[in-house]
Chain A
Amino acid sequence: MQSKLFQRVLATLTMLFVSTVAFAYEGAERSHENLRPGVTQISQEVYDLHMMVLWIVTVIGLLVLGLIMYSAFAHRRSKRPEASKFHENLGLELFWTIIPFIILGFMAWPATKVLIQMDDSAEAELTVKVTGYRWNWSYEYLAYQDDNDVGVFYFSNLDTPKEQYENPVSAAGLFPYGTAADKFGKPAPEKDGDYMLAVDKPLVIPAGTKVRFLITADDVIHSFYVPDFGIKKDGIPGFINEAWAIVPEDATGTYHGQCTELCGKGHAFMPIEVNVVAKAEFDQWIADEKEKAASGPDLTPFASLDKALEKGEGLYASKCAICHGANGEGGIGPAFAGSDLATNPERIQEHIDILNHGRNAMPAFSAQLSPAEIAAVITWERNAWGNDTGDLIQPADVAE
């Protein structure tokens, strides 16, 4: 009877837990409650080390818990009205000082070995510079085999559509817009399986190759975290950190990571996606990318103001709204609606310069947007929200 009850409770608890897992998610590489072994040799060793230490501390923890519970039960007052009076024992004190030292030694030795291996980033075949920005990543392929001037560079942005996470009530501050009634009763938007993990253009690396990452940042500190490679390294503005990985040839596929150093409003919205491909496929991909990079930016003028506005509206929403507000009302950054900068015809060049080169906390967007995109955004900012200047900025005006 008792065991049946126990099983029922267990089953109910399990059901409760499992039923909440109903969220659709795919990908066998994702874990719910433990570290993943990952795919590189280092990440496997880290996993083994983790499991060893986890078992050691579990045993110690249960030992302490057991001693306390036993004492609480066996030495309670109703059983022992008179307490013993002992209060020191040098032997015992030495015992529980020395034994932990020995246990620590057992942990420190393998940890040191793994750490030394991790530190050796020599003889990498591919070097990629990873730069963190508020709030996306850029990847620059610096050297591949004998080619020390690959020159492939691109940005990688969150690809989860805003509609899947944004709600009208969450525009700024605490409940500033809309009412609770707007919010409740509405079904939560459907979410993709790779919600908050998908990016528009992943980092691509070849399998079976030692890849060295040079990690830095453009503005504040970010951290490049790819759990399946056992890598987490901070990107620090003005400094370069190193990490490396060899993904085995049979482990091609997509791996996800995230930024793990608080970097401001979009901290949770700059995932990392690494696409590990076979070496031959990578060679083809890098050749294609090099060709694209060589052709230079497209400076075809916009056919009409409306064409530019159409392009600018979407870009504004994805790149600018996070700081300047969805309706140009300002936020972390200054407002555009009715501002002098966005309406004064004499400040067009200044407007272009700020987007190209940045100012204070504003990043230089010439690195991540093409001249045509910057022109479209400026055109949008000068014509939306009642600014109506009629200014049409062409890609050639922006290109330098």
Chain B
Amino acid sequence: MSVTTADTHHDDHHHHAPTGLKRWLFSTNHKDIGTLYLWFSFAMLLVGGLMALVIRAELMYPGMQVVDPEFFNQMTTVHGLVMVFGAIMPATVGLANWMIPLMIGAPDMALPRMNNWSFWILPFAFGILIAAVLMSAFGEGNPSAPNFGWTFYAPLSTKYGPASTDFFILSVHMMGISSIMGAINVIVTVFNLRAPGMTLMKMPLFVWTWLITAFLLVAVMPVLAGAVTMMLTDRNFGTTFFDAAGGGDPVMFQHIFWFFGHPEVYIMILPAFGIVSSIIPTFSRKPLFGYASMVYATASIALLSFVVWAHHMFTVGMPLAGTLFFMYMTMLISVPTGVKVFNWVATMWRGSLTFELPMKWSLAFVILFTCGGLSGLMLAITPVDFQYHDTYFVVAHFHYVLVSGALFTLFAAAYYWLPKWSGVMPSKLLGELHFWNSLLSVNLLFFPMHFVGLAGMPRRYADYALQFADYNWWISIGGFWFGLSQIFFLAVAVRCAMKKGEPAPANPWDAPEEDLEWTVPSPAPFHTFDTPPVVK
């Protein structure tokens, strides 16, 4: 790399922060990049949410009324992709950017330019994907957007995929590059930039869970890249990786996809575990129960996540021994997950509890995530999974762990750290409205999905038999309600961004003093920990 001309104004950057468009486009500051990630992910949440509302509008009554089945499939596909890769993952990366340097006493992320790049890839990746949807909705002749589900099973996505599949492949490649760079940045930062005295076993649990997440990302994102590359050559260069007619195997696609896809689930939920492990002790005024066992449980969940992938594909016809292996391994995951839940409960036990907004969201998370985890245990029981598989029961399960699980902790994190990010306290009234509306509607939205699923309604259905009609109506009502409730959060976030609200002190929640992020002023200055703090 070139060496810049001798610049002697080393100290200037302490006092001068870039402004305007350049500040955001060229930023190498972990806080600015974190902010970009967070706004981007919230925008994607709204985009993906709108798609979910199209789905729910169509499913409110039996019969096709709003969109045609082809467009319906595009909605389910892009909703899933946008939510997984555009909303949840970038939001956790945004939190990592903001909080990891503050939590470990580092001046910034270790690789700031790569940090900028890993963010700025994302708007283009999603621009490409969403362009396909816009062309389908409004373009001449309605050319199909990706319509094969977010799991894009071959050969539906290869030989039978629409032309826009190549847009999708490029887009997924870019998302993967972004994620890998973000993960490398976290690993390098955590290993190299910890403040003196901050040993690994003193790190806040959020840093631990993100470190483990980063290893998962580095391990499985290339697998996803391999899968889409094989799709690319199958579609355009005459290979037959996934086509039995040429000696390939469509089931191999599923093995490769889920070898990525299952760890991906934990990539989305482990940072959530870290967030609540920060919040619950603060509002219980009691240290986290079983810190070491939390670290080990997180690591065992991550390791086990590599040997359970085929529980997504029990119906493809695996040999009995393979099926049994994946059933037992999947059941095992519930042990470390249970340990975490019990540790959170024990953290609260005999504490001195208050229920500010971050705590409310965290408790809702623990309860509802447990509900999603328990239905996951039901899904692990293979003979019964044959009945549950690909029905709304599965849809209920993964929305419980991803919406009332991961998304709820992201809201908890936002309410917890917004004072630090913005320097003002988030509006209590709007926050309470947001919380209670979300809590009630999310259950109206997802709980009855268990019922229609058990009653036998397959997922990704644009129309359904009449015995599913009544619950689907309620589910749609819950969906619209939940969607509209997020406007409260938009208002909260915009008010904080505009610095409207009560000024926040450095440590508004009386968090434990060893949590370094609360030792810097609110809002956190542009540069923090230029001189590393010393951790005792």
Give A contacts to B, CB under 8 Å.
17, 20-21, 23-25, 30-36, 42, 45-46, 49-50, 53-54, 57-58, 60-61, 64-65, 67-68, 71-72, 75-77, 80-89, 92-93, 96-97, 100-101, 104, 107-108, 111-112, 114-116, 118-119, 134, 164-167, 169-176, 183, 188-189, 191, 193-197, 219-221, 223, 225, 227, 230-234, 236-239, 241-242, 256, 258-269, 271, 330-332, 360-361
A49→B153 contact, CB < 8 A: no
Contact flags B323-361 to A (C-beta < 8 A → 1, else 0):
110011001101100110110011111111111000000
A360→B463 contact, CB < 8 A: no
Cβ-defined partner of A189 (8 Å) among B63, B141, B353: B63
Minimal Cβ-Cβ distance residue in B for A195? B466
A241→B384 contact, CB < 8 A: no
Residue numbers in B under 8 Å from A196 (CB-CB):
62, 463-466
Cβ-defined partner of B315 (8 Å) among A33, A36, A223, A271: A223
A57→B377 contact, CB < 8 A: yes
Cβ-defined partner of B317 (8 Å) among A85, A89, A230, A236: A236
Q: Which of B41-72 contact A (CB under 8 A)?
A: 54, 61-71
A49→B384 contact, CB < 8 A: yes
Closest 8 CB pairs of A and B: A238-B244, A173-B142, A33-B451, A241-B317, A57-B374, A83-B352, A268-B461, A20-B470
B461→A100 contact, CB < 8 A: no
B156→A262 contact, CB < 8 A: yes
Q: What are 26 inter-chain pairs, A to B, with CB distance below 8 A?
A: A23-B470, A49-B384, A60-B374, A68-B363, A71-B345, A77-B353, A80-B352, A83-B285, A83-B352, A100-B334, A107-B377, A108-B327, A164-B63, A165-B64, A173-B68, A173-B136, A174-B67, A174-B136, A196-B465, A232-B390, A233-B315, A265-B70, A265-B73, A268-B458, A268-B460, A331-B70
- A75-B350, A83-B284, A195-B466 are known; give 5 further A-B pairs, CB within 8 A: A21-B470, A24-B466, A237-B244, A267-B460, A361-B159
B462→A64 contact, CB < 8 A: no
B160→A220 contact, CB < 8 A: yes
A53→B381 contact, CB < 8 A: yes
Residue numbers in B under 8 Å from A100 (CB-CB):
334-335, 338
Alpha-carbon gap, A167 to B67, bound state (A)? 9
Alpha-carbon gap, A326 to B413, bound state (A)? 51
Residue numbers in A under 8 Å from B462 (CB-CB):
267-268
Which interface class (under 10, 10 to 19, 20 to 34, 35 or more) fits B?
35 or more
Residue numbers in A under 8 Å from B287 (CB-CB):
85, 87
Q: Which of B99-107, B302-310, B364-372 forms part of the interface with chain A?
A: B364-372
Alpha-carbon gap, A84 to B288, bound state (A)? 12
A191→B467 contact, CB < 8 A: no
Q: Which of B81-89, B143-151, B170-178, B425-433 forms part of the interface with chain A?
A: B143-151
Given the interface pairs A21-B470, A23-B469, the reply to whether A49 lies near B381 with Cβ below 8 Å is: yes
Alpha-carbon gap, A285 to B249, bound state (A)? 38
A195→B62 contact, CB < 8 A: yes
B378→A50 contact, CB < 8 A: yes
B323→A221 contact, CB < 8 A: no
B455→A104 contact, CB < 8 A: no
B65→A75 contact, CB < 8 A: no
A264→B156 contact, CB < 8 A: yes
Residue numbers in B under 8 Å from A259 (CB-CB):
458
Does B375 have its Cβ within 8 Å of any Cβ on chain A?
yes
A220→B63 contact, CB < 8 A: no
Alpha-carbon gap, A60 to B342, bound state (A)? 11
Cβ-defined partner of B339 (8 Å) among A96, A236, A267: A96
Residue numbers in A under 8 Å from B529 (CB-CB):
none
Alpha-carbon gap, A83 to B351, bound state (A)? 4
Cβ-defined partner of B370 (8 Å) among A35, A64, A82, A223: A64
Given the interface pairs A100-B338, A237-B250, the reply to whether A84 lies near B351 with Cβ below 8 Å is: yes
Q: Which of B289-297, B479-487, B496-504 forms part of the interface with chain A?
A: B289-297
Cβ-defined partner of A96 (8 Å) among B323, B338, B452: B338
Residue numbers in B under 8 Å from A261 (CB-CB):
153, 315, 390
Residue numbers in B under 8 Å from A34 (CB-CB):
451, 454-455
A269→B138 contact, CB < 8 A: no
Cβ-defined partner of A97 (8 Å) among B335, B347, B348, B363: B335
Minimal Cβ-Cβ distance residue in A for B148? A262
Given the interface pairs A107-B331, A232-B315, the reply to whether A183 lies near B65 with Cβ below 8 Å is: yes
B156→A33 contact, CB < 8 A: no
Residue numbers in A under 8 Å from B138 (CB-CB):
173-174
Does B383 have its Cβ within 8 Å of any Cβ on chain A?
yes
A25, A88, A170: which has the most chain B beta carbons within 10 Å? A170
B389→A114 contact, CB < 8 A: no
Given the interface pairs A20-B473, A35-B387, the reply to whether A80 lies near B350 with Cβ below 8 Å is: yes
B463→A269 contact, CB < 8 A: yes
Minimal Cβ-Cβ distance residue in B for A258? B458
A260→B345 contact, CB < 8 A: no
Residue numbers in A under 8 Å from B28 (CB-CB):
none
Distance (whole angstroms) from the CB of A343 to the closest CB of chain B:
20
B335→A101 contact, CB < 8 A: yes
Does B286 have its Cβ within 8 Å of any Cβ on chain A?
yes
Given the interface pairs A46-B387, A57-B375, A263-B156, the reply to whether A30 lies near B455 with Cβ below 8 Å is: yes
